Amino acid sequence: MRFVLSVLACCLGLACSSSKPESHRPSDTGAASEAQFKAMHAPPTAGPAVRKGQTIELDGGKAYLSLPAGAGPFPAIVVIHEWWGLNSNIEHWADRLASAGWAALAVDLYGGTVATTADQAMATMKAVDDARASQTIAAAIAFLAKDPRIQATKRAVIGWCFGGGWALQTALAHPELDGAILYYGQLETDPAKLGAIKARLLGIFGKRDKGIPVETVDKFEAALKQAGVRAEIRQYEADHAFANPSNPKYDEANAADAWVHVLAFLESLKQA
């Protein structure tokens, strides 16, 4: 299945580098707030972007790993990028999740390409080989369980737009996962197929998203219930990509509220 979305359904903004001081890094003692996360996406200046994690080799390609402070084992999460590719915005998300106590591994399903225009993003997304992408995600899930720094006690997946659709597909394919978080991703609405999901699910959507209308989200929620999937669906008066501070449609208030629910969801996974 190709995860090809219309231009209206995909993210419109480019992730920007940040040269903010070290004080804007995610806290090692608490999850990064919406204000801190927004500060990471300031327009670039002369300095390099601040990163907490590191680039690693994964399944013949590159990935970005960000670890919480202290020693493991940690709960861990696979991070799947938007249609732009594994850019600074997604690395910031990985750092943010690490600040919440989760080892975060951001995969690259584009083979190193980071798109800078909508046309390039669409072309790169269409060129993704689904089997190869699934293999990379499976390698990430296995890495989080086996890496001696992590030895994941719980495992989850999160994604946005293109990555949101892949987060759902990952939950369908990997019953060993404990949780899945999808921000405005392509949906499956067949209860018979959704029944394969064993993870708990959190879905976050914008009611003004023309690519994923409210009616589709409602049908998805009903199908999850029929399939017996434990799920929480949240819909905001917002546009597609409202949680990306680099996007013109960014909605700080709703993004902050969504983050509160993400944190609560992740905490509940740890306690389960």
pLDDT per residue over 95-141, tens digit each?
999 999 999 999 999 999 999 888 999 999 999 999 999 999 999 99
Is 200 domain-assigned? yes
Structurally, how many domains does the chain consist of?
1
Is 28 domain-assigned? no
Kindly report the CATH number assigned to the domain that includes residue 139: 3.40.50.1820
Token pair 């899930």: residue: 141
What number is the average pLDDT over the span 221-230?
Answer: 98
Is 94 domain-assigned? yes
Tell me the residue range of the domain where 267 lies: 55-271
Q: Reply yes or no on whether the pLDDT at 261 is more than 50.
A: yes
Question: What is the reported pTM?
Answer: 0.86
Is 182 domain-assigned? yes
For the stretch 194-216, what's the b/e string if a residue is b when 16 or more beta carbons lie within 10 angstroms of its beta carbon? beebebbbbbbbbeebebbeeee
- Per residue in 52-97, pLDDT tens? 899 999 999 999 999 999 998 999 999 999 999 999 999 999 999 9
Is 157 domain-assigned? yes
Is 14 domain-assigned? no
Is 3 domain-assigned? no
Give the pLDDT of residue 39: 67
Is 13 domain-assigned? no
